[in-house]
Chain A
Amino acid sequence: MSDSDSGTNPNRRDFIKIAGVASAAAGGAGLGMFGYAAGQDPASYLGWQNQEGASLIFERKHYEVDVPTYEKIGPTSRPDARVENIFDRRGSFMRQLRSGGEFEEPLKSYYEKHPEDLELDRLSAEEIIPKRMADEAEYGDRFFLSQAWSDAMGAVGPDPIDSPPEENDFPRDRRGTPIEPVKLKGPEMTARLIKKLAMQFGSTLVGITELNPDWVYAYPLRRRGFENPDEPLEVPEHWKYAIVVGTPMSWDPMYANPNYGTSNDAYSRSRIIATRLEAFIKALGYPARTHIPGNSYDLMVPPIAIDAGLGQQGRHGVLITPELGSNFRPAVVTTNIPMKTDRPIDIGVEDFCKHCKICAEVCPSGSITMEGKVEVRGYRRYAIDTAKCLNFWMSNLGNMGCRLCVSACPYTRKANWLHKSAVRITAADPTGLSDRALTGLQKSFYPGPDPEDYYIPSLGGDNASYREPPWWLRTEDFIDLG
């Protein structure tokens, strides 16, 4: 057929031919690039995705800042774990209540200054725990599987450290001779190696920072191993750096808080990761010490994770990371192995929390403030009433804890295109308009039960959960409850 027959001219025909060749080349190149990406894809490391850093999908570089987003506004002091850590204080309170008589120091002075906390501590012992025990007999069976699962997840973990830093932290060989540190090829390479190994050990996120002594407890929280736990804890010189590791809790049970989720699964994994990392650093001849959940810490973890660039603190007091939201259970290893540190990030959480307040609306115990920040030991932060929070934990029939503020936080969404795009939009938008729009959508699209419904029946609720439990935690589907 001639050009005139076909109605096309030679220029056009040539163009189509060239376009055809170009398309073939582009298509071929595209397939080649796709093949290369598929070959390198961390998702192909089936079962080992985290160890390949697959979850580090958020490009932190754009959001790095010089100083952390919490504000230092005055002279700072270190927290006294004996009274300011609710678990430590409640433990002492229960012990001293049972033994009768007057409260001993430092509890005595603390209660004189904070009579409202004495009320709440008493309320737990005298009313909440007895009511929970009564309800447990009637309604507790429903949570049998979730409790069994939680116990199993927490069953594996290293023994807590039982000696002070100067004894425990320094590496020795089997005969007790100190191990000489190896010569390293620079802080940048060491940081790279440590991060890779932390992921190899199972960590989902890793960050490194110089340790700010303000975050170390003034008195040891971890009583075991300290000759006199009522002596102030000097921050050891070899706690120069803090490496923050951690993993998320299983997502589906986490959304079914407060009854079906558990901190145990992530706690257990974070403990194991930190202990492996401690062993690795010691094998290189450097001192290292773990600070691990549930309560085996000598320091406060969230601000250290902020310093290490993992995220920011939310209104609910929990760390918010761009990848996992608040669903992250960290552990820390302190060491002096020289490493390049990470920079803190600002992904817009401070601004978002100003309008959002979802956690405060969801919290059954009213522990999260609706108001602005207050000064705590020289820093500005949202006040959390930990005594009220623990009282709700103690009333709960499912697994220990509550974590509703974690489940309901808009940042705590699975890492799919939808939610990660929302995080990127709020992080990049300086106007605050997207914060308001997304908060409105969040409240409308993801409603949950009324806060009072989360309580046990004898306290006026109906044992509600934020979302339905996954099928494998529904006791009634597997066990004949009679």
Chain B
Amino acid sequence: MRAMQIFNSGFFWFIEGILCVVMILGLRAFMRERGIPMPAWKWVVFGVWVLFAGFTIAFVGTSLGEGEPTAATRGGLLFGLIAVIGGAGAWRALVSGRDPGERAQVTDS
């Protein structure tokens, strides 16, 4: 009960927001370091995948919490599989268009 109060308080979402921003900054730094351009569509792909992966985790947690272990297992397997396969595809898309020549320019900007 007390745990749920934290999630309802807004503080949890504030922390989640910070974590998202750090994740985005991390991805940006990673891509820049390797000279991989990040046009808007790649951010959309990344965002969709993050949302889906987050949904999968929350689905499993909610199902377990409400006493539906079958839903948690089957949902976790189904959505988890989609998330893994989708994640592999998304990653290939994100790292596409690598231009080693850009590396020097982007690292110090």
Interface residues of B in 65-91 (CB under 8 A from A): 66-68, 70-71, 74-75
Residues of the A chain whose Cβ atoms lie less than 8 Å from the Cβ of B9: 38
Query: 0/1 per residue, A445-463, Cβ < 8 Å to B?
Result: 1110000000000000000
Given known A38-B9, A416-B62, contact A446–B108 (CB-CB < 8 A): no
Report chain B residues within 8 Å CB of A414: 66
CB-CB < 8 A to B71: which residues of A? 445-446
Write the A407-424 contact mask toward B (1 if CB under 8 angstroms, else 0): 000000010111000000
State whether A445 and B75 are in contact (beta carbons under 8 Å apart), knowing that A38-B9, A38-B10 are contacts in the complex: yes
Contact mask for chain A residues 28-48; partner B; CB cutoff 8 A; 1 contact, 0 none: 000000100110000100000
B62 and A7 contact, CB distance less than 8 A: no
Interface size on B, residues (CB 8 A): 15
A467 within 8 A of B: yes
Contact call B59/A447, Cβ cutoff below 8 A: no
One digit per residue, 1 when the CB lies within 8 angstroms of any chain B CB and 0 when it does not, for chain A 252-296 equals 100100000000000000000000000000000000000000000
Instruction: Check: B105 CB closer than 8 A to any chain A CB.
Output: no
Question: Closest residue to A413 on the B side, CB-wise?
Answer: B66
Taken together as a complex, chains A and B put the C-alpha atoms of A445 and B75 apart, in Å, by 7
In the complex, what residues of B have CB within 8 A of residue A252's CB?
67
- Closest residue of chain A to B71 (Cβ to Cβ) is A445
A7 touches B108 (CB 8 A): yes
Q: Is the CB of A418 within 8 A of B59?
A: yes
How many A-B pairs have beta carbons closer than 8 Å: the answer is 31
Who on chain B is nearest to A251 by CB?
B66
Determine which of B10, B70, B108 lies in contact with A445 in the assembled complex, contact meaning CB atoms within 8 Å: B70
A7-B108, A38-B9, A38-B10 as given contacts; A416 in contact with B74, CB under 8 Å: no
- The answer on a CB contact under 8 Å between A446 and B8 is no
Q: CB of A99 within 8 A of chain B?
A: no
Q: Is the CB of A418 within 8 A of B68?
A: no
| Distance, CA A38 to CA B5, complexed state (A) | 12
Q: Please report the C-alpha to C-alpha distance between residue A38 and residue B9 in the assembled complex, in whole angstroms.
A: 8
Query: Do A467 and B8 touch across chains, with their CB atoms under 8 A apart?
Result: no
Q: Nearest A residue to B17 by beta-carbon distance?
A: A30
A7-B108, A43-B8 known; A444 vs B74 contact (CB < 8 Å): yes
From A37, A38, A417, A446, contact of B70 by CB (8 A): A446
What residue of chain A has the Cβ atom nearest to residue B61's Cβ? A418
Q: Which positions 27-68 of chain B face chain A at CB distance < 8 Å?
A: 58-59, 62-63, 66-68
Query: Nearest Cβ in chain A — how far from B8, in angstroms?
Result: 7
Chain A residue contacts of B66, Cβ below 8 A: 414, 416
B residues within 8 A CB of A255? 67
Distance, CA A444 to CA B108, complexed state (A)? 53
Is the pair A418, B70 in contact by a Cβ cutoff of 8 Å?
no
Specify which of B10, B58, B62, B68 is in contact with A446 (CB 8 Å cutoff): B68
A43-B8, A445-B68 known; 17 other A-B pairs, CB under 8 Å?
A37-B10, A38-B9, A255-B67, A414-B66, A416-B62, A416-B66, A418-B59, A418-B62, A418-B63, A441-B75, A444-B74, A445-B63, A445-B70, A445-B74, A445-B75, A446-B68, A446-B70
- State the A residues within 8 Å of B (CB): 7, 34, 37-38, 43, 252, 255, 414, 416-418, 441, 444-447, 467-468
A-B pairs with beta carbons under 8 Å apart, 13 shown: A34-B10, A38-B10, A43-B8, A252-B67, A255-B67, A416-B62, A416-B66, A418-B58, A418-B63, A445-B63, A445-B70, A445-B74, A468-B67
Chain B interface residues (CB < 8 Å from chain A): 8-10, 58-59, 62-63, 66-68, 70-71, 74-75, 108
In order of increasing CB-CB distance, the 10 nearest A-B pairs are A445-B71, A34-B10, A418-B62, A445-B74, A445-B75, A446-B71, A444-B74, A416-B62, A414-B66, A447-B70
